[in-house]
Amino acid sequence: MSRWCGFSMWRYPTRAVLREVRVLRGVLRAAPAGDTVKSRSHCSRCSVPGKKWTTPSGFDTGIKTFNSLTKQKEPLIVEREGVASWYSCGPTVYDHAHLGHACSYVRFDILQRILSRLFGITVIHAMVITDIDDKIIKRSWEEDVSPATIARTYEDEFKKDMLSLKVIPPAVYLRVTENVHHIIAFIEGIVKNGHAYATTEGDVYFDIKSIGDRYGRFVGAVESQVEPGGSHKRDQRDFALWKRSKPQEPYWESPWGRGRPGWHIECSTIASCVFGSQLDIHSGGIDLAFPHHENEIAQSEAYHQCGQWANYFLHSGHLHLKGSAEKMSKSLKNYITIKDFLQSYSANEFRMFCLLAKYRSGIDYSDDNMLEARASLATVSTFVHDVQAYMKGQLQCPPVQEAFLWERLAETKSSIMKALADDFDTPRAVGTLLNLVYYGNCQLRPVSTSDGAARSPAVFGAVVSYITDILDVFGIDLLHSKEADVASTVGSLQNVVEQLTRFRSEVRAFALAPRQDPLSTGTPGKPGLHPDRIPLLKACDTLRDELAPLGIVIKDRGATSTWEITEGKQGRRGQRIHNEVQEPSS
Residue scoring higher pLDDT (331 or 492): 492
By CB atoms closer than 10 A (0-12, 13-18, 19+), residue 482 is: middle
Mind listing the pLDDT tens digit for each residue in 55-88? 999 999 999 999 999 999 999 999 999 999 999 9
pLDDT for 566 equals: 76
DSSP annotation string for 393-440: T-S--SPP-HHHHHHHHHHHHHHHHHHHHBT--HHHHHHHHHHHHHHH
- Residue 307, CB half-sphere, CA atoms under 13 Å: how many? 16
Average of per-residue pLDDT across 422-436: 98
Q: Which residues contact 243 (CB under 8 A, 6 or more apart)?
A: 203, 259, 260, 261, 262
Question: How far apart, in Å, are the Cα atoms of 159 and each of 97, 468, 570?
Answer: 10, 27, 32
Question: How far apart, in Å, are the Cα atoms of 193 and each of 80, 182, 254, 279, 303?
Answer: 29, 17, 18, 21, 7
Mind listing the pLDDT tens digit for each residue in 453-511? 678 899 999 999 999 999 999 999 987 654 444 444 456 677 788 888 888 888 888 88
Could you tell me the residue ranges of all domains in the chain?
A: 63-363, 373-474, 487-512+531-565
- Residue 127, CB half-sphere, CA atoms under 13 Å: how many? 24
Is the pLDDT reported for residue 331 higher than 70? no
Is the pLDDT reported for residue 41 higher than 70? no
Mind listing the pLDDT tens digit for each residue in 499-558? 888 888 888 888 888 876 655 555 544 457 888 888 998 999 999 998 988 888 898 877
- Residue 289, CB half-sphere, CA atoms under 13 Å: how many? 25
pLDDT for 269 equals: 97
- CA dihedral over 349, 350, 354, 357, signed as positive or negative: positive
Mean residue pLDDT across the chain: 84
pLDDT for 490 equals: 54
pLDDT for 5 equals: 42
Q: Tell me if 71 sits within 8 A of 110, measured CB to CB.
A: no
Q: How confident is the model at residue 24 (pLDDT cuts 50, 70, 90)?
A: low
Average of per-residue pLDDT across 222-239: 72
Is the pLDDT reported for residue 585 higher than 50? no
Helix axes 491-512, 534-547, angle to 10 degrees: 160
Residue scoring higher pLDDT (429 or 221): 429
- Sheet holding 560-566: strands in order across? 552-557, 560-566, 576-577
pLDDT for 33 equals: 39
Reduced 3-state DSSP string for 74-136: EEEEECECCEEEEEEEEEECCCCCEHHHHHHHHHHHHHHHHHHHCCCCEEEEEEEEECCCHHH
Calpha distance 344→285 (Å, rounded)? 25
pLDDT for 519 equals: 53
Mind listing the pLDDT tens digit for each residue in 120-146? 999 999 999 999 999 999 999 999 999
pLDDT for 367 equals: 92
User: 63-363: which CATH number, 3.40.50.720, 3.10.20.30, 3.30.56.10, 3.40.50.620?
Assistant: 3.40.50.620
Instruction: Tell me which fold the domain 373-474 belongs to.
Output: Isoleucyl-tRNA Synthetase; Domain 1 (1.10.730)
Q: Tell me if 467 sits within 8 A of 474, measured CB to CB.
A: no
Mind listing the pLDDT tens digit for each residue in 234-292? 999 999 999 999 998 999 999 999 999 999 999 999 999 999 999 999 999 999 999 99
Q: Of the ranges 388-392, 416-420, 547-551, 565-569, which one carries the lowest mean pLDDT score?
A: 565-569
Question: How far apart, in Å, are the Cα atoms of 19 and each of 172, 196, 352?
Answer: 10, 31, 37
